[in-house]
Amino acid sequence: MVSSTLNGTNLLKPFKNQASLLSVETPDVFSIDLDFSDVFGPAPPPPAPLHSISEDSSDFVVPTELAYDEPAVIYSRSHSFVGPTNYVSPVPILSKLRLHEKEDPLDLVGELDDEAEDDGNSGKTVRLEDFELLKLVGQGAFGKVYQVRKIGSSEIFAMKVMRKDKIMEKNHAEYMKAERDILTKIDHPFIVQLRYSFQTKYRLYLVLDFVNGGHLFFQLYHQGLFREDLARIYAAEIISAVCHLHAHGIMHRDLKPENILLDAEGHAMLTDFGLAKEFDEKTRSNSMCGTMEYMAPEIILGKGHDKAADWWSVGILLYEMLTGKPPYVGGNRHKIQQKILKDKIKLPAFLSSEAHSLIKGLGERSGDEIKGHKWFKSINWKKLDAREIKPSFLPQVEGKLCIANFDERWTKTPLVDSPAASPKCGENPFKGFSYVKPSVRPKRHIRGP
């Protein structure tokens, strides 16, 4: 458990009788084929070995709860996933004809003989050799996340490295390109910023701000449920970020604690835009995507969804911060779906009437209506966006190189990557992927050594 400091009064309420409120029911199997989220520092693995099965199988079960040392019981989410899509990649499925594995750790995350693409940014480009790999801090379906230092400077970044062969096998090239494109269009104090992107023959690279206070999931279940005063600040920062996305025609579509990081000052930082999508007000998306426990009913019904689906997820997220777990849990994927569609949300009596009112109507309100709700009466939104409202909880962060809030199963792993298949295709489906942020906003979320 990572220790943390708290300024002022204790705003973290212990989760009393946690073991009795959360039953341990660890399934034997679940489908790893649905994993799409590539987050910084994913949650620890379940105690039993996992087996890959088809989602269509009668044995398919979504994991509901996992046991840990402290606290006694922790709730674990389903994986993010993308359902059927009409898009068919013009690039044929890659054949694994040639594997590359080298002893040099720097070479193990890419092939250095590839030229970086011209990103149209006044000739500015970066390459893999411009960065020094420091630590592995996470791993997802398509690759890994490293802590890196830009050579010739003291700047520390997170480098998300994704294998092209895995992306193409799952036909997710368009999602990867959309993630990069969306990240280049947004600049907000509570959204992790993309600084660079580039590619080699075998991999894609996103270089982002290194936010090292741990993800909200990590802190939520190591500290217990949050009191309303602290949850209000986190919720306000998340809502501010979502409003910014919607104002720029972007839906996140996978809002959950694993996709929210805490910086060294305790602020919430939204990350992982792997399922995000640009939209216009006149159309609705029909994709089945997201994480089951946070999915809006309209996504489950497949009748088309819009940005209101994000507000539903914010409501579920707020409920979890205040009560310790999402409102719709337990059973397999189908049972969770039915609960979302049919069950009324049950709010604990210890929550304020204002919190009850906000959570019940979040999915039916606009961003401005949510900001004006009486539960946020104490929030000055201009000061919030200026980062002048300080959360009382501070993660333990000892400088910008600190990795204490990342899972040790990653940080203690040697810098050795798995081999990648050689892409055999006539045209590069990721043309134009390279990017250098034209103006760097002063970094405010990492304390110096």
- Contact between residue 246 and residue 67 where contact means Cβ atoms under 8 Å apart: no
Q: Is 368 a catalytic residue?
A: no
335 burial type by CB count under 10 A (0-12 exposed, 13-18 middle, 19+ buried): middle
Find out whether the peptide bond into 71 is cis, omega within 30 degrees of 0.
Answer: yes
- Annotated catalytic residue: which of 38, 181, 209, 254? 254
Q: What does the alpha-carbon distance between residue 286 and residue 303 come to, in Å, rounded to a whole number?
A: 7
* 160 marked among binding-site residues: yes
Q: What does the alpha-carbon distance between residue 293 and residue 340 come to, in Å, rounded to a whole number?
A: 8
Closest CA to 186 of 145, 239, 242: 242
Q: What does the alpha-carbon distance between residue 16 and residue 38 come to, in Å, rounded to a whole number?
A: 32
CA angle 227, 339, 300 (to 5 degrees): 105
Place of tokens 């399922």: 275
Residues whose CB is less than 8 angstroms from the CB of residue 371 and which lie 6 or more positions away in sequence, other chains included = 239, 243, 379, 381
**Stretch (H or E) spanning 5:** strand 5-6
CA 286 to chain centre: 22
Beta bridge partners of 138: 145
Residues in the chain: 449
Annotated binding site: 160
Catalytic positions are: 254
